[in-house]
Amino acid sequence: MSKQGVQNGKETATDKPKKHWSLGLLKSMKDPKSIYKETKKVVVIKDKYPKAKVHYLVLPRDEISSIYKLNKDHVDLLEEFGKIFEEIQTDHSNLMLCSGFHAVPSMQRLHMHIISKDMISSCLKTKIHWNSFTTKFFLPYRDVFKKLKEDGYIDKISPEAHKKFMSTPLKCNQCDFEPKNMPQLKQHLLTHCDE
C-alpha cells in the first residue's frame, strides 16, 4: 500500500489497483459521455484520440477480445457492425467514412474503427498512426466479413508484414502525393478539404 494511500485509517483512491491502459475501451463503453449509439449487441463509442474529423469505435457487448476470436457464430454480429456503419455514414452524409480493423490492435475488446477519410486531427501525429489506417494493416470491414462468412476465422498477419506496413513511406490517401514528413502530410490533407 502506498504512503499516501491511508488517511485517518481509511483507504484513499491511490489504493485502487490501476487498470491497464489497454482496458480503456471497456471503461469508455460504460461512460454515457463517450457513447454515440448502442443496440442490444453493440456499443459505438467516440474514439478518445480521434484521428480524423469523425472517428468512432464499434464494440460488441460480448467479451470477444479481437477479430482473431471470431468464428461462424459471429457472422450475425459482424453483419450488425455493417448496418451500424451504414447508419453512421447516413448520420455524416457530408463525409466519406471507412470501416475496418487494425491487424494488430493495441486495445482489448474487439473494435471496428469508423473513420472519415479526411484524417484531419491534432491527435494524428505519427507515421505509425497514419500507416495504421492507410496501409493493409487496416483490414477493411467488407474483407473481414467476407472471410468470416466463408472460412469462419480471420488470419493473423506476420511480424514481417506488420513491420513492412508500419515502415511504408508516407503517401496521401486521396491523391499520389508523397510527403517528406508528417507536418507536410498534415498541411497537404487540408488541401483536400475544399474539394
Q: Which of residues 143-162 bind ligand AMP (CB under 6 A)?
A: none
Dihedral over alpha carbons 32, 40, 57, 66 (to 10 degrees): 130
Judged by beta carbon distances under 5 to 8 A according to partner kind, the member of Zn ion, ligand AMP, none in contact with residue 28 is ligand AMP
Q: Which of residues 32-51 bind ligand AMP (CB under 6 A)?
A: 45, 47-49
Min CB(111)–ligand AMP separation in Å? 6
Residue 66 engages ligand AMP in binding (rule: CB under 6 A): no
| Secondary-structure percent of the chain, ordered helix, strand, coil, rounded to 5 | 40, 15, 45
H/E stretch holding 33: none
Min CB(11)–ligand AMP separation in Å? 25
Catalytic residue among 55, 74, 111, 113: 111
Min CB(189)–Zn ion separation in Å? 7
Catalytic-residue membership of 92: no
- Radius of gyration of the CA atoms of the chain, in A: 19
Dihedral over alpha carbons 161, 162, 166, 167 (to 10 degrees): -40
Give me 86's grid cell. Answer: 451504414
Q: What is the DSSP letter of 20?
A: P
* Of 10 and 18, CB closest to ligand AMP: 18
Give catalytic residues, as residue numbers: 111
Q: Which residues bind ligand AMP (CB under 6 A)?
A: 24-25, 27-28, 45, 47-49, 57, 102, 105-107, 111
